[in-house]
Amino acid sequence: MSTKLLNQRIAVLVTDGVEQSELEEPLKALRDEGADARIVSLKPGTIQAMEHADKGDRFPVDKTLDEVKADDFEALLIPGGLLNPDTLRSTRAAVDFVRDFSEADKPIAAICHGPWLLVEADIVENKRLTSWPAIQTDIRNAGGNWIDEPVVVDGRLVTSRKPDDIPFFNEKMIETFAKNGA
């Protein structure tokens, strides 16, 4: 095990409908680097992951949003999928949680549709980022500079497009979290 992220507490904000690979692979990468990565969700119990349109595995929730605050963590990971970030961006507590990370100048990594939460938290203006192509207009309308690349880093913000980009995403996420962590 590497120790680039040893003792860093990372929040992984997800709910039902998260794309399984975008949760599972970055979560494993964080933990392999020594991070204490915790699944934070809207309700206790488990969340249902998806493999595109099919049900995937269930994952245990470590903490609910009402039990945590951004100050409890050094960084934030927002996996994608379609349903996951759409539900989260409609939930005030989730949007506030994301905004609190940004206001505290803590690193945030988001993949696929995950940047919808960044848009809703009003933190993409004048930022370079990428996402699943279908939400590029939302990002541009919020003042962001959308770029079609596998991974884009703008300061403490790391974004990526899709499951095929996960190896690039994980590398830049770990690098950014290690550089900007505790």
Catalytic sites, residue numbers: 112-113
Report the C-alpha gap between 114 and 40 in whole angstroms.
14
Q: What is the Cβ-side half-sphere exposure of residue 130, based on CA atoms within 13 angstroms? A: 17
| Helix, strand, coil abundance in the chain, percent, nearest 5 | 40, 25, 35
> Backbone dihedral region of 2: left (phi > 0), alpha (psi from -120 to 50 degrees) or beta?
beta
Report the C-alpha gap between 81 and 85 in whole angstroms.
7
Sequence-ordered alpha helix ranges (H) in 4-111: 20-32, 83-89, 92-103
